[in-house]
Structure 1
Amino acid sequence: MSMATRATRALDAAGVAYRLHPYDYDAEASTAGGKGLQAAAAVGAPPQRVLKTLMAWVDARPVCVVIPSDRQLHPKALAAAAGGKGAKMMEVAEAERRTGYKVGGISPFGQQRPAPVWIERDAMAADSVFVNAGQRGLLLEISPADAMRVLKAQAVAISR
């Protein structure tokens, strides 16, 4: 497995410190948070510190959402935070096409067609969080403040 991805190259270019954590990716983990929970268990991190990256639509605008792996997105809260009327998940094929990553390996960093990013506010309390590094089976550990700065993200309550 290559440890260099578009995500790690973007962080390197920004001069941001991070640590890589490879793990055995389980393609059979359920999609309802299962992959994030499996990743948390594989790297020995609490699920609330392992963040999953979701691609969604707010009205007709693409957005990137980063929430703890043990939570579900609250679409109404996302729509309100983004100043829209409604939010829905992006179809897998569209998410892969927009980001340039495969589902299970989508990172908020280094996306081919970057979208505005919203991060769950509760995740900001940790000293570090784990985010997908741009390929299945590879997480990166980063300070939430650095992630926010590089992504120009907004911290809001968008999950439950």
Structure 2
Amino acid sequence: MTPAINLLKQLNIPYTLYPYPCDAHDDFGKHAATQLGLPLTQVFKTLIAYHDKQAVVAIVPSSGLCNLKQLAKATGLKKVEMMKPADAEKLTGYKVGGISPLAQKKGLPTVLDDSAMQFTEILVSGGKRGLSVGVSPHAMERLLKWVVAPIGEPHP
């Protein structure tokens, strides 16, 4: 079990495990959706951005990108930029391709793209490559205090 799954168990938050074979080296969200036969809009990727010393978590559909201006606005920061993968791994305790928005080493403000609210279940990383976890976006907003905002944008 990963720290992400342990947190869901500890908080008694319903979830479904979605293991899949992972041989991807990039675009892990798209790979997960393809392996699981689910729409890219329902499988979300976890991104880490920052401004000065403040890091924030962005959760956006695998089908698109994160709008950094909207993410900054949602978190009350002047502006944000994407964190380097090695720094994100160090900060979260997870490897790229398996960075979960759940149970990171340090509690960070977390923003979920508002498109998630159309689903009863979304998939996020379960804390390692080849493992997604299905959770209710409404439960994440209510129980984990995720901010919901329009931070996603379509891939060009």
TM-score range, shorter chain: over 0.9
User: 2:8 corresponds to which residue?
Assistant: 11
From 45, 51, 70, give the equivalent of 1:52.
45
Question: Structure 1: which 5+ runs fail to align?
Answer: none
Kindly provide the CA deviation profile for residues 12-44 of structure 1, in whole angstroms up to 9, marking residues without a partner as x. 01001111011111233x3xxx22111101011
Q: In structure 1, the residue corresponding to 2:152 is in which secondary structure? A: coil
- Structure 1 position 80, deviation (Å): 1.4
On the 8 A contact 1:108/1:151 being kept in 2, the answer is no
Question: Structure 2: which 5+ runs fail to align?
Answer: none
On the 8 A contact 1:58/1:82 being kept in 2, the answer is no
Question: Residues 9-158 of structure 1: matches in 2 within 5 Å?
Answer: 9-28=6-25, 30=26, 34-158=27-151
**C-alpha distance in 2, partners of 1:92/1:86?**
19
Kindly provide the CA deviation profile for residues 40-66 of structure 1, in whole angstroms up to 9, marking residues without a partner as x. 010111110000000111353100110
Q: Closer, same or farther in 2 for the Cα pair 1:58/1:150, shift >3 Å?
A: farther
State the superposition RMSD in angstroms: 1.1
Number of equivalences: 153
Taking structure 2 as the reference length, the TM-score comes to 0.93
- Structure 1 position 115, deviation (Å): 0.5
Taking structure 1 as the reference length, the TM-score comes to 0.91
